[in-house]
């Protein structure tokens, strides 16, 4: 760990089994970052409470998500993988940082406005404070780097402001101002061919499906609407099946597929069959590993308990410094 470039922190809400959007947009990057950084990956169950109504799903979703991350290549002996609520120091830091957070800025954030629109009957205090809890997560583990998608950039900028304000007002450089590592992840479109792949839209292809289930799901994908007959040439540039080929099919074959689609030599059914085969090839090792890990239901909880133990050591150090900087008696 000593020769790594710095510490990475990232958190995601426990949404259960992960799909191709999570995989291409986040997990692959998490796995790659381990080579260069000391990584802290957190399943943010407290954040999930801001909008969740089915509380009983939290535990199962946490285990499924952790299994997916582990099977995809998060190495728990090297990185810290844990559940946010297992390190309660984050809630103390959240309270403290909330005193350094201007309320007007919080309610002005586009992400808050969007969430308030989506959950008009549940605009709770925690929802407004979501970015403060995120700042507490990042600051508690003194992350140097936070990989974020474009949609999270305003939150990270907000974290930086809160950290600066804390350090300035206390006159102590206790907290670390994190740098953004913008991941140019593709926005993966779902089987409907129109919207972002997401569990809530039921347009997802989960990583943990069997080969046959994956093929069946791929068969439901919407293709070029202009191609109403097998003999009509397709437009790969607007077809989501083709976009996914770019992520899963070897480059040499991708160009041939595009040409054969444009000349109508290749029909949509065969095209989808070949995409399903490519996805299944890429995920074969993942599935084997996931099945192996799932045989022992205690495994994932043991990993998460060990991660929390290591995270608490970092959290305690930071909180000692934070309390001292504030002069808390
Ligand atoms: P959260 O709200 O905790 O970020 P999500 O399940 O929405 O939970 O996303 C988890 C991660 O997966 C995020 O980094 C997100 O950007 C990425 N992700 C989710 N869906 C997609 C998608 N369709 N395309 C690309 N990335 C995605």
Query: Is residue 174 over pLDDT 90?
Result: yes
* CB-facing half-sphere around the CA of 167: CA atoms within 13 A: 13
Choose among 203, 184, 207, 186: nearest CA to 279.
207
Regarding the beta carbon of 207 and ligand 1, being less than 6 Å apart is answered no
Query: In this structure, are 61 and 118 located in the same domain?
Result: yes
Kindly give the distance from the C-alpha atom of residue 25 to the centroid of ligand 1, in angstroms, as a whole number: 6
Kindly give the distance from the C-alpha atom of residue 231 to the centroid of ligand 1, in angstroms, as a whole number: 37
Query: In this structure, are 87 and 169 located in the same domain?
Result: yes
Whether 277 is in a domain gets the answer yes
By alpha-carbon position, which residue is closest to atom 18 of ligand 1?
22
Q: How confident is the model at residue 122 (pLDDT cuts 50, 70, 90)?
A: confident
Whether 89 is in a domain gets the answer yes
Query: In this structure, are 91 and 213 located in the same domain?
Result: no
Whether 85 is in a domain gets the answer yes
Kindly give the distance from the C-alpha atom of residue 240 to the centroid of ligand 1, in angstroms, as a whole number: 18
What tokens appear for 59 in the block?
Answer: 């535990």
pLDDT at 2: 56
Query: In this structure, are 12 and 103 located in the same domain?
Result: yes
Query: In this structure, are 306 and 275 located in the same domain?
Result: no
Whether 176 is in a domain gets the answer yes
Query: In this structure, are 237 and 127 located in the same domain?
Result: no
Query: In this structure, are 66 and 147 located in the same domain?
Result: yes
Regarding the beta carbon of 188 and ligand 1, being less than 6 Å apart is answered yes
Query: What percentage of the chain exceeds 90 in pLDDT?
Result: 83
| Mean pLDDT to the nearest integer, 144-172 | 91
Q: What pTM was estimated for this model as a whole? A: 0.93
Kindly give the distance from the C-alpha atom of residue 260 to the centroid of ligand 1, in angstroms, as a whole number: 32
Query: What percentage of the chain exceeds 70 in pLDDT?
Result: 99
CA pair distance 256, 266, nearest whole angstrom: 10
Query: In this structure, are 143 and 176 located in the same domain?
Result: yes
Q: How confident is the model at residue 315 (pLDDT cuts 50, 70, 90)?
A: very high
Number of other residues whose CB lies within 10 A of the CB of residue 34 = 17
Q: Which atom of ligand 1 is nearest to the CA of 15?
A: 6
Whether 29 is in a domain gets the answer yes
Write the DSSP assignment of 78-106 as a string of letters.
TSEEEEGGGSTHHHHHHHHHHTTS-HHHH
Query: In this structure, are 35 and 158 located in the same domain?
Result: yes
pLDDT at 186: 72
The CATH number for 129's domain is 3.40.50.620
Regarding the beta carbon of 148 and ligand 1, being less than 6 Å apart is answered no
Whether 15 is in a domain gets the answer yes
Which comes out higher in pLDDT, residue 290 or 228?
A: 290
Regarding the beta carbon of 12 and ligand 1, being less than 6 Å apart is answered yes
Kindly give the distance from the C-alpha atom of residue 230 to the centroid of ligand 1, in angstroms, as a whole number: 35
Choose among 224, 307, 295: nearest CA to 261.
224
Which comes out higher in pLDDT, residue 124 or 289?
A: 289
Question: How many structural domains does the chain have?
Answer: 2
For 223-279, the pLDDT digits (tens) are: 999 998 999 999 999 999 999 999 999 999 999 999 999 999 999 999 999 999 999
pLDDT at 187: 87
The CATH number for 271's domain is 1.10.240.10
Query: In this structure, are 14 and 67 located in the same domain?
Result: yes
For 249-263, the pLDDT digits (tens) are: 999 999 999 999 999
Query: In this structure, are 24 and 49 located in the same domain?
Result: yes
| Mean pLDDT to the nearest integer, 46-51 | 89
DSSP state at residue 178: P
Kindly give the distance from the C-alpha atom of residue 169 to the centroid of ligand 1, in angstroms, as a whole number: 35
* Coil, helix or strand at residue 196: strand
| Mean pLDDT to the nearest integer, 138-156 | 89
* CB-facing half-sphere around the CA of 110: CA atoms within 13 A: 5
Regarding the beta carbon of 136 and ligand 1, being less than 6 Å apart is answered no
Regarding the beta carbon of 301 and ligand 1, being less than 6 Å apart is answered no
Regarding the beta carbon of 196 and ligand 1, being less than 6 Å apart is answered yes
Kindly give the distance from the C-alpha atom of residue 146 to the centroid of ligand 1, in angstroms, as a whole number: 15
Cα R_g (the chain), whole angstroms:
22
Which comes out higher in pLDDT, residue 18 or 181?
A: 18
Choose among 93, 134, 77, 92: nearest CA to 307.
77
Number of other residues whose CB lies within 10 A of the CB of residue 63 = 20
Q: Comparing 40-44, 250-254, 323-327, which segment has the lowest mean pLDDT?
A: 250-254
Residue among 20, 25, 201 to mutate when testing ligand 1 (max atoms within 8 A of CB)? 25
Regarding the beta carbon of 15 and ligand 1, being less than 6 Å apart is answered yes
Give pairs for 134-137: CB < 8 Å, separation 24+.
Answer: 134/11, 134/47, 134/159, 135/97, 135/101, 135/159, 135/162, 135/163, 136/90, 136/91, 136/93, 136/94, 136/97, 137/9, 137/11, 137/42, 137/44, 137/84, 137/90
Kindly give the distance from the C-alpha atom of residue 42 to the centroid of ligand 1, in angstroms, as a whole number: 14
Whether 204 is in a domain gets the answer no
Whether 197 is in a domain gets the answer no
CA pair distance 271, 253, nearest whole angstrom: 11
pLDDT at 68: 98
Q: How confident is the model at residue 181 (pLDDT cuts 50, 70, 90)?
A: confident
Q: Which atom of ligand 1 is nearest to the CA of 44?
A: 3
Query: In this structure, are 177 and 233 located in the same domain?
Result: no
- Residue 143 structural domain: 7-188+297-326
């Amino acid at each position: 760990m000593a020769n790594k470039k710095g510490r990475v922190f990232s958190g995601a809400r426990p949404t259960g089994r992960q799909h191709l959007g999570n995989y291409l947009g986040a997990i692959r990057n998490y796995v790659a970052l381990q080579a260069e950084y000391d990584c802290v990956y957190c399943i943010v169950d407290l954040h999930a409470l801001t909008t969740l109504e089915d509380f009983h799903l939290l535990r199962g979703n946490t285990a499924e998500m952790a299994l997916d991350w582990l099977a995809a290549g998060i190495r728990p002996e090297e990185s810290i993988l844990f559940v946010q609520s297992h390190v309660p120091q984050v809630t103390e830091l959240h309270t403290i940082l909330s005193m350094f957070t201007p309320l007007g800025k919080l309610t002005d954030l586009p992400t808050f406005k969007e969430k308030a629109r989506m959950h008009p009957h549940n605009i709770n205090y925690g929802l407004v404070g979501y970015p403060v809890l995120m700042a507490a997560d990042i600051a508690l583990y003194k992350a140097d780097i936070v990989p974020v998608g474009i949609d999270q950039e305003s939150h990270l900028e907000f974290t930086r402001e809160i950290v600066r304000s804390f350090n300035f007002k206390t006159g102590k450089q206790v907290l670390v101002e994190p740098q953004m590592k913008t991941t140019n992840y593709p926005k993966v479109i779902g089987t409907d061919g129109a919207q972002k792949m997401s569990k809530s839209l039921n347009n997802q292809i989960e990583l943990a499906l069997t080969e046959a289930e994956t093929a069946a799901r791929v068969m439901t994908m919407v293709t070029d609407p202009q191609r109403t007959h097998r003999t009509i040439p397709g437009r790969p540039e607007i077809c989501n099946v083709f976009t996914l080929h770019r992520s899963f099919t070897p480059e040499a074959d991708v160009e041939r597929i595009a040409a054969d689609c444009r000349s109508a030599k290749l029909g949509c059914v065969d095209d989808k069959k070949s995409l399903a085969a490519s996805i299944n090839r890429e995920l074969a090792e993942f599935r084997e590993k996931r099945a192996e890990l799932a045989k022992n239901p205690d495994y994932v909880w043991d990993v998460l308990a060990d991660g929390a133990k290591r995270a608490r050591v970092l959290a305690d150090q930071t909180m000692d410094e934070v309390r001292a900087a504030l002069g808390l008696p």
